[in-house]
């Protein structure tokens, strides 16, 4: 009898309407450059926090560049996922479909990330005036290298494009909007000589310079085939230094209406990541820091093989919204993994309020051992123990 229980439960869920919908996938024809391509839209959507993606998946024409241009893996991940959060301010996940950028290719982005060149620099590099499209400031040839870099740091680190398609009544796919992320440096790195020591300096006017660059980017996008009459959202991301253990964050965004080439209004994004435990976090959010410290102490009390715990919290409007916790520990058997995971799950339920999106990763030198995930509003988390 027991072997029929899963089948019965599945049927019951379908009858009551509680199960996800797995109907036949819809087909849509994408129109681009007067060409029609058959694509599939999955009916099932994991969450309203995520966009559905058309199949077959089309990789970005600038694929791979982000890894070379951003400082840390934390910045890379946050820049991509954070840009999707920004997109939801303009383009609903219920209506729009996600596609990686198809307009800005590798060569274009690389050229835009260059410095602007003087006439003599163009001649030296054997470039034409039409190739002088760098969005970073020209470096003055006068003064020491240190003075030159101090006056003209590299502001723009990377450009990321996301496209959002909308299905028309005729069943065709249409580009409904574009979201552009500009990754900006908060620290400028430079060398006084080739293969020499690397120096660094903080950049204080990152956001204001980023807004100037954004205006030029919008003008250039409007001159590209297919982007003249499409709504564009552009957002500024400030990445952290190369030694940071928390990611940077988006600071502002602007919505540019179809056909417009002018940014009229910037909106602030009040998000910031904090490290747990850390003195700056304790100073800014003492109650949250104490809550995390209690969680840490409860682990230390019962597990001698524990090596420490690190948390990265995302604050939105000065309230803890997401918390990612990493727990490295040395295990000597699967039974110990199971016992530790059960104990941690209990601590999660009893320590952290349920409005926080929580993820706890338990690892050892041999790789991941367990994952505990709790979505906002849920009392009990989902737990997976790796075999």
CATH classification of the domain holding 352: 3.30.300.190
> For residue 82, is it within any domain?
yes
pLDDT value at residue 7: 35
User: Are 181 and 85 within one domain?
Assistant: yes
User: Are 50 and 199 within one domain?
Assistant: yes
Q: Which is nearest to 161 in space by CA: 260, 91, 249, 59?
A: 59
> For residue 14, is it within any domain?
no
pLDDT value at residue 31: 57
- Maximum Cα–Cα distance for the chain, whole Å? 86
User: Are 217 and 322 within one domain?
Assistant: no
> For residue 3, is it within any domain?
no
Q: How many domains is the chain partitioned into structurally?
A: 2
Q: Which is nearest to 314 in space by CA: 73, 78, 80, 89?
A: 78
Query: Pick from 223, 252, 269: which residue ends a domain?
Result: 269
User: Are 206 and 152 within one domain?
Assistant: yes
> For residue 105, is it within any domain?
yes
Alpha carbon distance 156, 299 (integer Å) = 43
pTM score: 0.87
Reported as half-sphere exposure (CB side, CA atoms, 13 A), residue 95 has a value of 13
Alpha carbon distance 178, 180 (integer Å) = 7
Rg (CA), the chain: 25
pLDDT value at residue 20: 42
User: Are 236 and 96 within one domain?
Assistant: yes
> For residue 112, is it within any domain?
yes
Indicate which CATH number applies to the domain containing 180: 3.10.570.10
Q: Which is nearest to 340 in space by CA: 384, 313, 290, 303?
A: 303
Q: Which two tokens stand for residue 172?
A: 């065709």
> For residue 233, is it within any domain?
yes
pLDDT value at residue 26: 63
> Strands 96-100 and 52-53: what pairing?
parallel
User: Are 120 and 244 within one domain?
Assistant: yes
User: Are 219 and 79 within one domain?
Assistant: yes
Q: Which two tokens stand for residue 218?
A: 């919008």
User: Are 168 and 100 within one domain?
Assistant: yes
The per-residue pLDDT string of the chain (387 residues; one tens digit each, 9 = 90 and over) reads 333 333 333 333 333 334 444 344 666 656 555 566 667 776 656 666 788 888 778 888 888 889 999 999 999 999 999 999 999 999 999 899 999 999 999 999 999 999 999 998 899 889 999 999 999 999 877 778 888 888 999 999 999 999 999 987 776 678 999 999 999 999 999 998 888 999 999 999 999 999 999 999 999 999 999 999 999 999 999 999 999 999 999 999 999 999 999 999 999 999 999 999 999 999 999 999 999 999 999 998 888 767 789 999 999 999 999 999 999 988 878 998 999 999 999 999 999 999 999 999 999 888 999 999 999 999 899 999 998
User: Are 329 and 344 within one domain?
Assistant: yes
pLDDT value at residue 108: 96
User: Are 232 and 302 within one domain?
Assistant: no
pLDDT value at residue 37: 66
Instruction: Give the DSSP H or E segment for 360.
Output: strand 357-364
Domain that holds residue 349: 274-385
Whole-angstrom CA distances from 364 to 246, 280, 327, 368 are: 21, 28, 8, 6
232: helix, strand or coil: strand
Alpha carbon distance 90, 133 (integer Å) = 29
pLDDT value at residue 142: 78
> For residue 16, is it within any domain?
no
Which residue is it, tokens 């051992």?
Answer: 369
Query: Pick from 236, 269, 302: which residue ends a domain?
Result: 269
Alpha carbon distance 312, 314 (integer Å) = 7
User: Are 251 and 297 within one domain?
Assistant: no
Burial of 122 (0-12, 13-18, 19+ CB in 10 A): middle
Query: Pick from 269, 288, 305: which residue ends a domain?
Result: 269
Alpha helices in the chain (DSSP H): 5-16, 65-69, 73-87, 106-113, 119-125, 145-151, 206-222, 279-284, 286-302, 334-351
Q: What share of the chain is helix, strand, coil (3-state, %, to 5)?
A: 30, 30, 40
User: Are 218 and 317 within one domain?
Assistant: no
Residues in the chain: 387
Q: Which is nearest to 98 in space by CA: 149, 165, 26, 30?
A: 165
């Amino acid at each position: 009898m027991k072997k029929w229980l899963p089948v019965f439960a599945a049927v019951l869920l379908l009858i009551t309407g509680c199960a996800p919908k797995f109907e036949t996938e819809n087909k849509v024809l994408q129109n681009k450059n007067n060409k029609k391509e058959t694509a599939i839209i999955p009916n099932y959507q994991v969450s309203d926090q995520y966009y559905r993606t058309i199949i077959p998946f089309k990789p970005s024409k600038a694929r791979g560049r982000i890894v070379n241009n951003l400082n840390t893996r934390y910045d890379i991940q946050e820049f991509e996922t954070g840009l999707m959060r920004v997109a939801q301010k303009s383009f609903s996940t219920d209506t729009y479909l996600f596609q990686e950028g198809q307009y800005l290719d590798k060569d274009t982005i690389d050229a835009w990330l260059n410095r602007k060149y003087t006439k003599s620099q163009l001649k030296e590099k054997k470039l034409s005036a039409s190739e002088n499209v760098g969005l970073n400031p020209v470096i003055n040839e006068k003064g020491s290298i240190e003075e030159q870099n101090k006056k003209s740091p590299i502001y723009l680190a990377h450009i990321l494009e996301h496209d959002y398609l909308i299905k028309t009544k005729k069943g065709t796919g249409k580009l409904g909007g574009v979201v552009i992320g500009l990754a900006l440096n908060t620290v400028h790195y430079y060398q006084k000589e080739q293969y020499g020591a690397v120096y660094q300096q903080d950049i204080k006017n990152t956001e204001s310079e980023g807004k100037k660059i954004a205006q030029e980017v919008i003008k250039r996008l409007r001159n590209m085939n297919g982007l003249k009459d499409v709504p564009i959202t552009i957002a500024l991301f400030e990445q952290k230094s190369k030694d940071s253990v928390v990611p940077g964050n988006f600071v502002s965004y602007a919505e540019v209406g179809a056909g417009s080439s002018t940014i009229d209004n910037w909106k602030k994004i009040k998000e910031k990541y904090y490290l747990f435990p850390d003195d700056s976090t304790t100073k800014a959010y003492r109650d949250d820091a104490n809550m995390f410290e209690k969680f840490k102490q409860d682990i230390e009390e019962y597990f001698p093989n524990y090596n420490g715990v690190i948390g990265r919290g995302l604050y939105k409007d000065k309230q803890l919204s997401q918390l990612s916790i990493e727990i490295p520990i040395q295990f000597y058997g699967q039974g110990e993994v199971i016992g530790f995971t059960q104990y941690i799950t209990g601590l999660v339920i009893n320590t952290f309020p349920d409005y926080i999106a929580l993820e706890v990763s338990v690892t050892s030198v041999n790789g991941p051992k367990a994952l505990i995930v709790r979505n906002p509003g849920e009392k009990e988390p989902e737990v997976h123990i790796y075999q």
